[in-house]
Structure 1
Amino acid sequence: MSRKYVITLLSVGHACVDVYQGAVASLVPFFVSERSYTYAAASGIVLAASLLSSVAQPLFGALTDRHAMPWLLPSSTVVGGLGIALSGLSGSYALTLVFVAISGVGVAAYHPESARVARLASEGSHAAMGWFSLGGNIGFALAPVLVAVVVGTGGLHLSPLLVVPALAGSVLCLPVLRGLERTRAAGGASGAGQRGGVEDRSSFVRLALAVVCRSIVFIGLSTFVSFHVKERMGGSTAAGTAALFVLYLGGAVGTVVGGRLAERWNRVTVVRWSYLCTVGAVAGVVFVPGPAVYLFVALASAGLYVPFSLQVTLAQDYLPTRVGTASGITLGLTVSIGGLASPVIGRLADVTSLQTALTPLIVLPALAWLLFRDLPEPVAPERPAPEPARAPEKVET
């Protein structure tokens, strides 16, 4: 099975999983309108989706360092979809939290193992890992469209239809699993993906702190940008949904651009400049009135997603003997810390205004830039050169 084919399948499967991360924020306006939730209560749903994920994702990463578990790809995809599908059926706030939490666990189980498999399939290519991450960004981008079509037209009681992408994604994982099995049978790489090398824990911690800053900004925007743009565009629900779509679509563009730029310059430089540019973009989202806000939403999204796949591979290179753990922590922090901060933003919005609550997000990309200023670019281990072909010995007769 070719590398390009495997990465394509993994990318599409990634989209089918991450549609459920995007669906949580996309469902929030419908929970507010149909169930009269406050901003704080609505952001609690985002918290529930990310709280268990923040603990589970590093644990699954540690497990994949010890044992390869490719079967997690289809099973976790289904779990992620079922949680979101059931979240709209009960009017109980507690049950809604339980269902979105179950979805969060499914998403958490998927990412470390899929990142490990993608790393093996990409053979260290930043561009290939960018394409894998692109799938997740497309899933995020499609989430508000999918939710608007299903829930926006028929209400929350049609949420079971949202399980369809999960079923499709689980089927797409099967050829990858068969390919891995054939590789294992042929004696190829089939372990948990560990590599040799020296760990740089200090750099990993600084990278993780930068990911925390990014997480709070992105999850904060994805939770509240639809409400914010709706207020600034005269109360149009469609305007708010469009802003969320632009936020996720800009991330898809940023991921591909990030992989390409890293092939030309080093990853640390690309991430550093991306965060610096994001400071102005987030300020534009918060303060610029009128339709121009969509431009700044797109720029902020691209700026936050250029570092996405690059931070994952950097984490793997800083902890080369624990690739699964590095992936689990990095990907887990991407959503979990932002989910923990969302209720704080929501509470501040309830007592002041949404614009005031979003203003502190401008500072966080600057902190991420500071954390990246002196980070070293890891040197990839050199592959052993192939032995030259030996000339056949002459046989004397």
Structure 2
Amino acid sequence: MPKNQPLSRPRTITWLSLGHACVDVYQGSVAALVPYFVLEREYTYAAASGIVLAASLLSSVVQPLFGALTDRWPMPWLLPLSTLIAGVGVALSGITGSYVLTLIVVAISGIGVAAFHPEAARAARKASRGSHSAMGWFSLGGNLGFATSPLLVSAVIATGGLQASPLLVVPALAGAALCLSAVRSARTPAAGTASAGAKAGSDDWVSFARLSGAVICRSIVFVSLSAFVSLYAQERTGGSPAAGTAALFILYIGGAIGTVLGASLANRFGRIQIVRWSYALTVLAVAGVVFVPGPLIYVFVALASAGLYVPFSLHMTLGQDYLPQRVGTASGVTLGLTVSIGGLTTPVIGAIADNASLQVALIPLIVMPAIGWILVHSLQEPKAPGSSSEPRTQSTAAIRNDA
């Protein structure tokens, strides 16, 4: 398709993107709740990070399983159901009577998030008719959900305390309705729509493994910053919880800006090149977050957000293109397993912070994007389906062509 030809955004993609936003509110909400658990329940850093771990642990196992299942059987009914499960778990987290019950309900929320992403990514790829641009819009929806979650949590919990957490179920109700609309819309596909896998090429597991390793490194940095940047910003600036919420919002809003910027740059320079540059930027940005004091920390949080989010949708489409025969599995790993593994490291970060300081605990995060850069440095663009020699150079999305 010519570069200057606009790509349509089917109605299904619109509903899926909005539903994705509602679901990813709950991925961001768990980290946004951590400062309130520390303040109201007097949890230690390690205990609070265990909440993030609970939301991630089952997801890390379940999401690839759902991906493999959706490769065999489309399960559109999962979309509204998983959205409701994700919302109910977070909504109950503030009114549980014990730490164990809190762990259980946020784990249930994590299962809901895990069940949503592989089926939604499969449905979006099919509805997009192979358009990387449409997949970029799908990713953008999720990143906007991440970005708004700290604001939503702050508005609800800062006003009514943790006992007001049941109000956080509202995005789930809206998301379930949007997903139902997407399912209905997908039943009557546009003329010429075909499965993205109809002319799929062969799977490149070696490249996919390298990409997955890099995404794990990115995930460790992102999840750890999500869990602790709010508290750390308060320490470095001597500010209030609002100062911490601002840092978390800056980290998350990069999802919207980074997805658009990454798509535009990748269309010009190629996905692999932009991914490499992003990991290099993240090394410097995270070092600034850790060591630069005062209000300048917000500048480096913004740079870290760009470095972490610019390659986000590129990871997804590259993973799907490396495994064109297993789109659901690729989505389950790049959107699920690798992201969830980041949550497994947060208790370690929390324990170091309790025994030394939060700054010392965050220092290892500087190394992670450097390892990611090494892993992606030798990657090549996936070959176009049906081609033995010509690489696929179309990026995830010149989103500006669709605006």
TM-score range, shorter chain: over 0.9
What displacement does 1:187 show? 9.5
Q: Which moved more, 1:69-78 or 1:17-26?
A: 69-78
* 2-structure distance, mates of 1:158, 1:107: 22
Tell me the residue number matched to 1:391.
none
2:263 is equivalent to residue 259 of structure 1:
yes
Aligned residue among 210, 229, 240 for 2:214: 210
What displacement does 1:235 show? 3.9
Q: Is the Cα contact below 8 Å between 2:11 and 2:182 reproduced in 1?
A: no
Tell me the residue number matched to 1:392.
none
* 1-structure distance, mates of 2:378, 2:319: 15
**Percent same amino acid among aligned pairs?**
70
2:348 is equivalent to residue 344 of structure 1:
yes
* 1-structure distance, mates of 2:383, 2:261: 22
Tell me the residue number matched to 1:273.
277
Aligned residue among 166, 180, 202 for 1:160: 166
Tell me the residue number matched to 2:3.
none
- Deviation string 1:314-347 (CA, Å, 9 cap, x unpaired) is 1111111111001101111343111100000000
Matches within 5 A, 1:43-58: 43-58=49-64
- SS of corresponding position for 2:96: coil
Tell me the residue number matched to 2:333.
329
Larger radius of gyration: 1
Specify the code of the residue in structure 1 equivalent to 2:76: P
2:45 is equivalent to residue 39 of structure 1:
yes
What displacement does 1:199 show? 1.2
* 2-structure distance, mates of 1:212, 1:224: 18
* 2-structure distance, mates of 1:376, 1:212: 19
* 2-structure distance, mates of 1:119, 1:55: 23
- SS of corresponding position for 1:113: helix
What displacement does 1:350 show? 0.5
Tell me the residue number matched to 2:181.
175
Matches within 5 A, 1:48-197: 48-183=54-189, 189=194, 196-197=200-201
Tell me the residue number matched to 1:369.
373
- SS of corresponding position for 2:33: helix
Q: Is the Cα contact below 8 Å between 2:233 and 2:244 reproduced in 1?
A: yes
TM-score (norm 2): 0.91
* 2-structure distance, mates of 1:235, 1:45: 24
CA 1:80–1:193 in 2, change beyond 3 Å: closer, same or farther?
A: farther
Tell me the residue number matched to 2:401.
none
Q: Is the Cα contact below 8 Å between 1:278 and 1:365 reproduced in 2?
A: yes
- SS of corresponding position for 1:3: coil
Q: Which moved more, 1:2-11 or 1:136-145?
A: 2-11
Give the length in aligned residue pairs: 380
Aligned residue among 2, 12, 27 for 1:6: 12
Name structure 1 gaps, 5 residues minimum: 384-397
What displacement does 1:382 show? 5.2
TM-score (norm 1): 0.92
Q: Is the Cα contact below 8 Å between 2:215 and 2:338 reproduced in 1?
A: yes
Tell me the residue number matched to 1:308.
312
Q: Is the Cα contact below 8 Å between 2:118 and 2:328 reproduced in 1?
A: yes
Tell me the residue number matched to 1:389.
none
